[in-house]
Each structure stands twice: as C-alpha cells, then as structure tokens.
C-alpha cells in the first residue's frame, strides 16, 4: 500500500492481472479463494465492513443532487449494484462474507411506489448467488422521513438475526445494533456511520455525541455480562489514531477517548471496558482504507470487545484482519488507491472506500485467544500515498486525453493560464481546468493569473460535467 511496507511485498505487483489473496502476510499470498485457509472449519466466518459510496434507487426523490434523475438513472443503478455484488463475490467461497456491514444505502422515500435501494440490493445479491442473507436496516420508524438521513446502514447476515435496535445519533446515521445467533452463541454487532469530516475540529464534537451513544449501549451490555461478544464496525469517520494525528486541535476524540478504541491487544485477554481496534494488526505503514489529499486514512473499522478473546461464545481469529484489495478492480493500477465511484459515463468505478474484514469462529473450550502480531503504536502522522510509479509513467496531457478510459489517470501538464475563474490552462493545443483539494497547492492555483506559466501533474477527473486535472498535493506542482 505504501512504499516501505511488507504488505506491498505480500501483495505482489499492482500490474498483476490476478486477484490477490486477502490473507495476512505471514500466510502465503498464493491462490484465488480469499478466505480459504488450511484447516478452516464450518465454525469459522468472516465479518466485512464496507462503505459502498452511495447506492440509491430510481424513485427520483433524493436529498443529494448527484442522485437526482438528471445525474443518476438505470445505467448507474445497474452498474452500482454490480460493483457491490462483484466485490462481495470475490471474498470467500463465492457466496460472500457471512456478515456484511454496509454503509451509504439510501433510505427509502417512496415505499409504496418503487423498489427501494435495499430491496434492489437484496434482489441483486440473490441473482449473483450471494447469501442467502437476513437483512437489518438502520431506520428509526418513529422519526419522519423528512427528519431522517438520506442514507443508512444495512447489515447482512447468513446467520439468524435474533434482535435489532437502532440508536439515534446527532447529524449522522442511526447506529444499527443486531444480535446474531451463531450456532447457539450470540454475537452483538454495531454497524456505524458517524458524522463526516475526520480532520475537522468543528465536527469532532458531533462524532463525540455519536460515539457516546454507542459507548453507553456497550456499557449496558458489559454491565449485564462483561464477556459479551461485541464487534463495532463501519465508517466511523475517524482514524484509528485520531487523538495522535489531531492532538493540537482535538483535545478529546470520539474514537479514542469516548469509544475507548486502542491498540494494546493483550488488554483484551482480561475483562476490560477498552476495545481493541484491528488496525493494530497491521504495521502502521500498511494501514489505509481510503485516500484524502494524498494521505491514507483509516475511516473503516472493526473494533472488538474482551469477550472475543475468552474461551466461550465467539472468538477472534488472531491476525486475520486485512484490507480487501482486489487488483485491477477496486484499486487503481500503480498507486493502489481506491477506484472511487462516479456517476459520469453511465457509472464507473467501485467505491472511495476499501472494505476491511476479519475472521471469527465459535470458541474452543479451554483455549483462549492468544495475542498475535500486535502493532500497538499509533503514529501522529498519516502515511503518504506512494505515487512514484504512476508519476514516472505519466504522459503529457493533450487534446486526446479527455476520454472515459483515462478517468483518474495521472498526466503531466505544462502551459499558460488562460482563465483564472475557473482556473484554465492552455496546453498542447487544448484547454483544461486545474483544481486541488490540498490547501498549499490550492493557494498557488488560486493566485495564478492569465499569462502565468504552470506545470506539474494531475489526475483526470470531472466536476459538474467538465473535465479537470486535480493536483493531489503541493509537490505535484513545479516551480513558478
């Protein structure tokens, strides 16, 4: 994933045409079945957390402009469903993970007139041969549709669902709690999608409220039974090391201070209120499920309670946590960043988040879970994406570059500013807009005036139907 990681060596080259095996690096990476390990029994199962990046239905009623009829139709829906079902089918034995925590599924706003996004998904899963799944939705029925969020969490389970609860959160999606019956043992799973804006100190108090709701419920369960088997999963819109990364602007964090997510795995071998974040199964350089401003983030999570380390109920399979990286499918060749979804061209891409998954099993009596290759450290920085290979191979942008086949490809550019609102460059006999989300690069671009020379690199994208090159970070720009 990153330049110096052992994970890169395990995963082989991004140029390889085969799907990689999603197994820890201590296990051979050969083979195509992602969860098939020697000695696996029917008692083992996989939990996967996956933000699909917005699955909407076709009723034309959307809180998001990008999913209104002028931007989203039959082609986008069909391809989006295929991207989700293809992802799930590539994990396990072809019938999908046993438990799936999905985020960003549209809440149905026309229940009597049209099939909902959830119903369409369930139909597509069946047609693909996935499951069969029981399904729970993150909808609080007592709250009106107008006051409900645009999107919710959905949990899929091949196991019976004994109980479902939804917990209201401020300016976020309800936390979906399900109690699953796994061969007579109960597993409690919380599916989350907290308030967005991981790097924003302004939105962290909202995430603290979201986390407080979850923590209160976990404490209730642990008070009744300290050995309750609990998995917290989903998109927490927080990094596993939120407290360290934003120490200067966030004196209190939702994920670390309130939820009590931490990286010391041995603590889980004794009763404790603290939870173990499975990102600490991987070395710091290998941690990443999405990319923002040229850095790897860890917004997707699987977090465990003490009960999953004792000798009864359900157990975690040590060192089984991994990121679902599927070469030439959900990551871009060369950089390995997520192959995000766009509604352009009838719908292209997969998702801006990579799924995370881990293996669990019914407990072996008298045998507690041993600590594995625990990496307890929480650096105060996020790893940079290694763009070296794609930058070295970048071709100059020209009049023939604007094509769907080049979407998200990195090009070099050199030319003169033609317009500054929006910033437009003349280069190689054509024109292209330039933009950046990185503050330092953005400042340089916004200061440019007609006649100024600019050169650098950008990935090809579109905004409101217009082509643009997005400069990922400051060092993608040459000296002016």
Is the pLDDT assigned to residue 92 strictly greater than 80? yes
Is the pLDDT assigned to residue 310 strictly greater than 80? yes
Is the pLDDT assigned to residue 15 strictly greater than 60? no
Is the pLDDT assigned to residue 7 strictly greater than 80? no
The residue-averaged pLDDT of 154-172 equals 98
The residue-averaged pLDDT of 425-445 equals 96
The whole-angstrom separation of Cα 320 and Cα 46 is: 9
What is the pLDDT of the chain when averaged over all its residues?
Answer: 91
pLDDT at 267: 97
Q: Of the given ranges (39-48, 172-181, 350-359, 361-370), which has the lowest mean pLDDT?
A: 39-48
What confidence category does residue 1 fall into, taking pLDDT thresholds of 50, 70 and 90? low
pLDDT at 82: 98
pLDDT at 111: 87
pLDDT in tens, 102-139: 999 999 999 888 999 999 999 999 999 999 999 999 99
The whole-angstrom separation of Cα 111 and Cα 405 is: 37
pLDDT in tens, 380-424: 999 999 999 999 999 999 999 999 999 999 999 999 999 999 999
Is the pLDDT assigned to residue 435 strictly greater than 60? yes
Q: What is the DSSP letter of 311?
A: S
The residue-averaged pLDDT of 361-372 equals 92
The residue-averaged pLDDT of 22-38 equals 34
The whole-angstrom separation of Cα 150 and Cα 142 is: 16
HSE at residue 261, side-chain half, CA atoms within 13 A, is 32
pLDDT in tens, 189-230: 999 999 999 999 999 999 999 999 999 999 999 999 999 999
The whole-angstrom separation of Cα 229 and Cα 218 is: 10
Is the pLDDT assigned to residue 37 strictly greater than 50? no
pLDDT in tens, 337-361: 999 999 999 999 999 999 999 999 9
pLDDT at 43: 83
Coil vs helix vs strand at 397: coil
Is the pLDDT assigned to residue 280 strictly greater than 60? yes
The residue-averaged pLDDT of 315-324 equals 98
pLDDT at 479: 65
Give the global pTM.
Answer: 0.91
Is the pLDDT assigned to residue 89 strictly greater than 80? yes
pLDDT at 207: 98
Is the pLDDT assigned to residue 30 strictly greater than 70? no
HSE at residue 434, side-chain half, CA atoms within 13 A, is 38
Tokens coding 147: 């006051």
Which residues does 221 contact at the CB level (< 8 Å), separation at least 6? 188, 228, 230
Using an 8 Å Cβ cutoff, are 315 and 308 in contact?
Answer: yes
The alpha-helical segments, DSSP class H, found in 65-116 are: 74-89
Q: Of the given ranges (26-30, 153-157, 375-379), which has the lowest mean pLDDT?
A: 26-30
| Interhelix angle 117-127/74-89, nearest 10 degrees | 50
The residue-averaged pLDDT of 20-49 equals 49
């Amino acid at each position: 994933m990153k330049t110096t990681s052992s994970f890169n060596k395990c995963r082989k080259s991004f140029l390889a045409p085969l799907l990689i095996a999603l197994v820890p690096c201590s296990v051979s990476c050969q083979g195509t079945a992602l969860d098939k390990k020697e000695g696996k029994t029917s008692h083992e199962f996989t939990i996967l957390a996956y933000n699909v990046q917005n699955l909407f239905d076709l009723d034309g009623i959307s809180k998001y402009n990008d999913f209104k009829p002028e931007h989203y139709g039959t082609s986008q829906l069909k391809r989006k469903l295929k991207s989700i079902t293809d992802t799930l089918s590539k994990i396990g034995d072809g019938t999908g993970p046993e438990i799936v925590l999905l985020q960003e599924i549209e809440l149905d706003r026309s229940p009597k007139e049209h099939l909902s996004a959830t119903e369409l998904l369930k139909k597509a899963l069946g047609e693909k041969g996935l499951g069969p799944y029981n399904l729970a939705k993150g909808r609080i029925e007592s709250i009106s549709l107008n006051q409900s969020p645009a999107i919710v969490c959905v949990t899929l389970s091949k196991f019976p669902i004994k109980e479902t609860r939804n917990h209201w959160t401020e300016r976020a999606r309800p936390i979906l709690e399900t109690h699953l019956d796994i061969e007579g043992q109960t597993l409690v799973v919380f599916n989350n999608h907290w308030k967005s804006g991981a790097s924003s100190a302004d939105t962290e108090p909202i995430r603290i409220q979201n986390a407080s709701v979850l923590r209160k419920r976990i404490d209730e369960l642990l008070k009744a039974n300290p050995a309750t088997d609990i998995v917290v999963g989903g998109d927490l819109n927080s990094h596993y090391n939120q407290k360290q990364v934003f120490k200067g602007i966030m004196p209190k964090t939702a994920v670390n201070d309130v939820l009590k997510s931490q990286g010391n795995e041995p603590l889980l071998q004794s009763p404790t209120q603290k939870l173990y974040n499975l990102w600490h199964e991987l070395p710091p350089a290998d941690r990443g499920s999405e990319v923002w401003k040229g850095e790897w983030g860890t917004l997707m999570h699987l977090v465990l309670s003490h009960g999953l380390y004792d000798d009864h109920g359900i157990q975690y399979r040590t060192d089984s946590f991994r990121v679902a990286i599927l070469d030439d499918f959900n990551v871009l060749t060369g950089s390995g960043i997520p192959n995000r979804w766009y509604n352009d061209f009838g719908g292209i891409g997969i998702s801006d988040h990579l799924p995370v998954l881990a293996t669990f099993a019914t407990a072996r009596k008298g045998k507690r879970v041993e600590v594995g290759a625990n990496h307890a450290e929480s650096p105060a920085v996020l790893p940079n994406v290694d763009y070296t290979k794609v930058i070295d191979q970048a071709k100059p942008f020209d009049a023939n570059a604007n094509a769907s086949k080049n979407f998200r490809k990195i090009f070099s550019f050199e030319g003169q500013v033609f317009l500054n609102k929006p910033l437009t460059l003349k280069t190689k006999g054509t024109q292209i807009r330039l933009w950046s989300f990185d503050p330092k690069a953005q400042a340089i671009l916004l200061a440019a005036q007609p006649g100024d020379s600019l050169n650098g690199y950008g990935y090809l994208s579109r905004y409101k139907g217009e082509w643009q090159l997005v400069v990922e970070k400051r060092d993608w720009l040459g000296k002016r």
